[in-house]
């Protein structure tokens, strides 16, 4: 796991409120055994209904910073939603607010989710639409987002910010890395070791 102090990339605007996880990745794609290939189905139903959806626009094809609205990722707790965004190419999300479980799932994948005021989000969208090649930087060290000459304060809970900046956001990875120590500790516990035989 690498430390994440900032993420820089071009932006993709989707300043819409109450986007739920079923819109991010429709339920029919949840039958997969692995998350491989989910990226191509991100927002699939929305994209079919809207020929101008940003995730189909060539100008945003290589974007990695998503600018979204209020309560982004609401609905079910499926990990497939942030997995599909990550596999599409999203490396950070700036929104007005996030659903709690979606936020946690993103953080455990190393995707910073920061909140900003609506006026700052609207300005970011204006700038991204005017120049899709302009880079956005989400800086966790300073809790700021910058694009061109626009800088805005952002917020992220301290625990998530610390986990990302120290590289300790992947709890399963930490358990796997410490498998030998975990087994050793378990073997020394009488209420666990008796079941190991």
Residues 69 and 126 reside in one and the same domain: yes
- What is the C-alpha to C-alpha distance for residues 135 and 168, in angstroms, rounded to an integer? 27
Domain around 180? 170-197
Report phi then psi at 66, rounded to 5.
-95, 130
The domain that holds 125 is classified in CATH as 3.20.19.10
Identify the band that residue 174 occupies on the pLDDT scale cut at 50, 70 and 90: low
Asked, for residue 1, whether it belongs to a domain, the answer is: no
Whether 92 and 178 map to the same domain: the answer is: no
Average pLDDT of the residues of the chain = 90
Closest CA to 144 of 155, 135, 133, 131: 155
At 40-57, the pLDDT tens digits run: 889 999 999 999 999 999
Instruction: State the number of CA atoms in the 13 A half-sphere of 94 facing the CB.
Output: 36
Say whether pLDDT at 176 is over 70: no
- CA dist., res. 155 & res. 26, Å (int): 29
Q: Quote the CA–CA distance of 103 and 86 in Å, as a whole number.
A: 13
78-104 pLDDT, tens digit each: 889 999 999 999 999 999 999 999 999
Q: Do both 92 and 179 map to the same domain?
A: no
Domain check: are 134 and 194 in the same one? no
155 with 181, same domain: the answer is no
| Position 149 pLDDT exceeds 60 | yes
CB 25 within 8 A of CB 35: no
pLDDT of residue 193: 59
Whether pLDDT at 138 is above 70 = yes
Comparing 3-12, 134-143, 147-156, 186-195, the range with the smallest average pLDDT is 186-195
pLDDT for the residue 105: 94
Between helix 158-166 and helix 100-108 the angle, nearest 10°, is 10
One domain, residues 98 and 176: no
What's the confidence (pLDDT) of residue 27? Answer: 79
Domain total in the chain:
2
> Would you say residue 162 lies in a domain?
yes
> 100-113 burial by CB neighbour count: b if 16+ within 10 A, else e?
ebbbbbbbbbbbbb
pLDDT at residue 130 in the model: 97
pLDDT of residue 184: 80
- Same structural domain for residues 55 and 19? yes
- Identify the residue with better confidence: 193 or 76: 76
Write out pLDDT tens, residues 8-32: 999 999 999 999 999 999 877 777 6
pLDDT(6) > 70: yes
Q: Within a domain: residue 109?
A: yes
On the question of pLDDT at 196 being above 60, the answer is no
């Amino acid at each position: 796991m690498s430390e994440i102090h900032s993420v820089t990339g071009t932006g993709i605007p989707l300043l819409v409120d109450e986007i739920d996880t079923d819109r991010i990745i429709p339920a029919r794609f949840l039958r997969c055994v692995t998350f491989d290939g989910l990226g191509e189905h991100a927002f699939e139903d929305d994209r079919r209904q809207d020929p101008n959806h940003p995730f189909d626009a060539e100008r945003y094809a290589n974007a990695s910073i998503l600018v979204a609205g209020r309560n982004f990722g609401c609905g079910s707790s499926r990990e497939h939603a942030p997995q599909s965004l990550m596999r599409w190419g999203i490396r950070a999300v700036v929104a007005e607010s996030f659903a709690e479980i979606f936020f946690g799932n993103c953080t455990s994948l190393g995707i910073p989710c920061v909140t900003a005021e609506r006026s700052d989000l609207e300005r970011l969208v204006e700038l991204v639409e005017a120049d899709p090649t302009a880079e956005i930087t989400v800086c966790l060290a300073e809790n700021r987002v910058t694009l061109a000459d626009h800088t805005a304060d952002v917020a992220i809970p301290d625990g998530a910010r610390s986990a990302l900046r120290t590289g300790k956001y992947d709890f399963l990875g930490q358990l796997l890395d410490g498998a030998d120590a975990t087994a050793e500790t378990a073997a020394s516990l009488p209420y666990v070791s008796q079941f190991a035989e």
